[in-house]
């Protein structure tokens, strides 16, 4: 287990990354925007990698149905998250999706 884990703010207006001191801070908030919308960096990177796999698959098959199904899937997940966390002012998948697109562009 990592001694000082790294965190990523999933607030679309911030996206700050930092390392915390100690494994489980008492009150985990982004030091830049002070929101509590944070994910462990490793979890965020796994989500971005999975998102990129779906985007690569859709490009390889050049099938618009795949992208439509993917968008429906992401929207459905977003609806579940919004129901669980009704005060969340954004889609947490927005940052993950944009990061996956950015990684794909950097590879090409």
| pTM given for the model | 0.62
Would you place residue 42 in the very low, low, confident or very high pLDDT band (cuts 50, 70, 90)? confident
Q: How does pLDDT run across 48-85, given as a tens digit for each residue?
A: 887 777 777 777 776 666 666 666 666 666 666 666 66
CA nearest to 108, candidates 64, 59, 62, 71: 59
| Measured distance CA(93)–CA(74) in Å, rounded | 7
């Amino acid at each position: 287990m990592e001694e000082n884990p790294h965190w990523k703010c999933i607030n679309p207006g911030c996206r700050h990354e930092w390392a915390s001191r100690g494994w489980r801070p008492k009150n985990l908030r982004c030091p830049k925007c002070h929101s509590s919308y944070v994910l462990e960096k490793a979890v965020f990177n796994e989500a971005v990698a999975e998102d990129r796999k779906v985007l690569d698959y859709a490009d390889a098959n050049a099938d618009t149905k795949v992208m439509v199904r993917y968008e429906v899937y992401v929207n459905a997940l977003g609806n579940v998250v919004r129901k669980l966390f009704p005060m969340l002012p954004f889609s947490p998948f927005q940052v993950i999706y944009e990061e996956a697109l950015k990684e794909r562009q950097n590879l090409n």
